[in-house]
A and B are shown apart, each in its own frame.
Chain A
Amino acid sequence: MPAVSKLVGRNAPRREGPEKLCGVAKYVDDYALRGCLFGATLRSTIARGRIRSVVLDPAFPWHEYVVATADDIPGANYVALIENDQPLLAKDRVRHLQEPILLVAHSVRAKAYAALAHVRVEYEAEAPLFDPEQSQAVFKTFHIARGDVEAALAGADVIVEGEYRLPHQEQAYIETNGAAAWFEKDGTLVTLGSLQCPHYVVKALKASFALPEEKVRVIQAVTGGGFGGKEEYPNVICAHAGLLARKAGRPVKIIYDRHEDMAATTKRHPAVIRFRSGATRDGRLVAQDVEILMDGGAYVTLSPVVLSRGTLHATGPYDCPDVRIRSRVVMTNTPPNGAFRGFGAPQTLFAAEMQMERLAHKLGLDPIALRRKNAVQAGSTLPVGQTLRESVGARQALEACVKRSGYARRARECTRWNRSPKRPSWRGIGLALVHHGAGFTGSGELYLGSRAAVTLTREGELRVLSGSTEFGQGTTTLFSQIVAETLGVPLELVTVETPDTARVPNSGPTVASRTCMMVGRLLREAALELRAALSAIGSPFPATPSALKAAARKLCGDAPAKRFEAVYRKPDWVSWDDKSYTGDAYEAYSYGAMAVELEIDKATFETGIRGVWIAADIGGVIHPLFAEGQVIGGATQGLGYALLESVLYEGGVMKNARFTDYTIPTALDTPRMDVAFVPSPYSLGPFGAKGVGELPMDFPAPAVAAAVRHATARFVDALPITPERIASALSKDAA
């Protein structure tokens, strides 16, 4: 039996916390690299057209600078991702405003930027396409069908229909994108970046620099927020830094300022969703017919996968026999969109939940009763053909949320409040119930073949080796807890290696709410192997540094270390067919419900949040405080999506690309939130855990919209629900 007390399920202090709290943790721009130059990027000023010429002003002191163009790319001029359609640097044509064309570097950062004004690009502009509804260039489509949705609609007692518009959203990590790169004497390209997926960058650099795996090394610096915005974009900025470094023969750092980061890098996909729902008179769902259109921007990037996840979540966590989902993502001449926490699901779940709200209203049913009638449980079969086997906590999350919020009482009080015309405000309460699959979709995890390892050195050092990155979610601490608890050692004896591709295996990207469930599971397996090996030599659960050292010497013998590596194995029951797109889409889903009570000022239409209650099923909770932090943080981003954040596109580019004009929630905008986790362990998750990262992004917008409907008797079907939108809705008739 382990002598060390339980670590999992307790709040261990953040492993890298002290360094972050003292300003000692090193983010990319904190590295002082000897002889480093600073890079700046020249970007296109038209949305579509041919590049006729790129001319450097002859009167400018270019000898002080290093300049790189597409001609300097030793390998392929594309950003390796799903398709290889996105140029690393534009050469003959551009497909969006802000597309990178040329790079400059100088030893003084301000002078690098100043040089950009001395490059003249001549274009032959062509008519750009900005409206996704007009675009014929389709990146990807999906068609999921079960039963006969038209017949079911025809036979339904009641039908509700809606059209929902979801905007771009900017990740707004407080640390902008940045990367440094240099070449070692042996020709190895090394890049240090603010990033989520070091092995994605390896793949991209191999292609663009025509280098073999051993000659590319990617190191994650301490990263100041990602949220998906640093999932694939680092492929671009790391390669740009590398191009300049190659030409300069010196290290180069490129750090975007806020305006460039907002205007040029990826955003959440905007979507238009048309939804018809049919139900019986007593509120049983009989038909759901969904059409989804997403705007991918100019290049494919991750659009097929965003669309996939959005499509698979589109009908919400409900039983419904006859379903059809038709989705497509198309090209427009705008900066490419990409990953942002939620990854398609916040868009489609907004529509799904608003449809439930419409149904409840039309049927005269309480919205909670409607959810109770239709929510999935163990044994439910999803439209894609997956039967939910275990850990289906949708109903528990719903009940916990309803209870903790005092939903019924508050709903009555809001209704009573609204009856009096003398009140200065309207009040409302709304609830949303959502699901979110953990891990890569379908055969994605198999395709990734993730690996993670635990090593014990002869000196007694326990190391966790994985390509998973820490950028605030608690990866480092979670991994430490899982491994330390499995081995019965104190937390401090476990060291998690910095994700450096020269030293860690490819554990897959740190995205898709997969890190704890998938990679944590691998580490638990690896640690169990080590534990078995220690038991075999008679030294189980070493609880002190000296005991661990003694055990290590015994285990390793003459070898410097012993390594235990686990590789992803598909569970036997998981079955997925890529061709028909049917089967088990995700090993497990997390579930969550959020209730929000709000107040709308009758004079200004401003919305104030009076209370937020969240209950979630995330499986086993490894670290309650960090899990709560993920929920509150994600829900705050969701409240921003719902109420405050507006990406304004004009002429194909973001017009309000700075914090002054793109307003994310401040401490004063964000309410206190009551968060609870319902017990619902997943048997294949490490200590029962599923995923939590993205779930909280899914419920705020529909919960807010439902509350607004209660307060104003109006449906607002587009985000953000600004005072202007509320004022406009109120000038029309009540729903």
Chain B
Amino acid sequence: MRTRFTVNGKARSFSGSGMKRLLDVLREDLELPGTKEGCGEGECGACTVLLDGQAVVSCLIPIAQVAGRRVATVESLGRPDRLGTLQEAFLAEGAAQCGICTPGMLMTAAAYLRRGGRADDGAIRRELAGNLCRCTGYQHIVSAVQKAARRGSAGRPRKRA
């Protein structure tokens, strides 16, 4: 079975069982290991990607259901030598400690900002409730998202010069 979809703006495809998880296709077949597995239950959010702009947990999505759809992963937000504005806010606010929850956290935050999410502590916490972090206690993460919201960052990738 061949499934075609878009990842980070590029047309990609996968040949194999439709039940292979989107998470594994990204990590193993498309060489995009930025998305992480934390639980396999849809509880921790470490595997969050955007599917047609919505935050979803990729550990619970069979690749067959991704046919014809648009996927965005953390790799679309920036590069170490060219961080996106949301990533810059995370760096400035100390929002990443061990970093394993960070890709998922960034994607959920990106979806929130792109929907016009405001710099409201409570609203941000509600939005991030499906992304578990064990290191930070969330405060610096919330500050980072607030900072990005105030700066008008839509969490979109920087346009290439």
Contacts and interface: CB of A to CB of B under 8 A. Distances in A.
A contacts B directly (C-beta below 8 A):
yes
Interface of A: 11, 13-14, 16-27, 29-30, 171-176, 222-227, 257-258, 471-474, 625-626, 628-629, 632-637, 658-660, 664-668, 670, 672-673
Nearest to A224: B100
Given A632-B140, A660-B43, A22 B128 contact: no
B39 to A, nearest CB: 4
Given A636-B137, A666-B132, 17 more contacts: A16-B99, A21-B78, A22-B83, A22-B87, A25-B99, A29-B27, A30-B27, A174-B133, A258-B44, A625-B94, A626-B94, A628-B94, A629-B135, A632-B137, A659-B43, A660-B43, A670-B125
B58 to A, nearest CB: 13
Contacts of B106: 21
Contacts of A222: 99
Contacts of B39: 258, 658-659
* Cβ-closest 8 pairs across A and B: A23-B34, A224-B100, A20-B99, A472-B98, A472-B97, A636-B137, A18-B80, A632-B137
A312 B141 CA distance: 36
Looking at chain B's contact residues, is the secondary structure mostly helix, strand, loop, or mixed? loop
Contact of A174 (B73, B80, B100, B124): B100
A660 B96 contact: no
Contact of A175 (B38, B94, B130, B137): B38
Contact of A173 (B77, B81, B90, B98): B98
A226 B100 CA distance: 11
B11 interface: no
Interface string B34-46: 1111111101101
A227 B74 CA distance: 26
Given A173-B134, A174-B132, A21 B91 contact: yes
Given A21-B90, A174-B46, A667 B98 contact: no
A486 B142 CA distance: 34
Interface in B1-55: 27, 32-41, 43-44, 46
Contacts of A625: 93-94, 140
B79 interface: yes
Interface of B: 27, 32-41, 43-44, 46, 73-75, 77-81, 83, 87, 90-94, 96-103, 106, 121, 124-126, 128-142
Contacts of A20: 96, 98-99, 102
Nearest to A632: B137
22 contacts: A13-B92, A18-B81, A21-B106, A22-B75, A22-B83, A173-B100, A224-B98, A257-B40, A258-B40, A258-B41, A473-B97, A629-B97, A632-B139, A635-B137, A658-B43, A659-B44, A666-B132, A666-B138, A667-B138, A667-B141, A667-B142, A673-B139
Contact of A30 (B33, B79, B91): B33
Nearest to A634: B137
A472 B99 CA distance: 7
Contact of B132 (A472, A473, A659): A659
A472 B135 contact: yes
Contact of A636 (B75, B125, B129, B138): B138
B92 A22 contact: no
A633 B135 contact: yes
B110 to A, nearest CB: 12
Given A20-B99, A626-B94, A673-B137, A258 B75 contact: no
B153 to A, nearest CB: 14
Contacts of B100: 27, 173-175, 224-225
B98 A223 contact: yes
A22 B77 contact: yes
Nearest to A640: B134
Contacts of A22: 34, 74-75, 77-80, 83, 87
B88 to A, nearest CB: 9
A629 B80 contact: no
Contacts of B135: 225, 472, 629, 633
A24 B34 contact: yes
A664 B99 contact: no
A29 B59 CA distance: 15
Contact of B80 (A19, A175, A635, A665): A19
Contacts of B40: 257-258
B139 A224 contact: no
Contacts of A673: 137, 139
Nearest to A662: B43
Contacts of A665: 137
Given A22-B83, A258-B38, A14 B78 contact: no
A21 B102 contact: yes
Contacts of B38: 174-176, 258, 659
Contact of A23 (B33, B83, B131, B137): B33
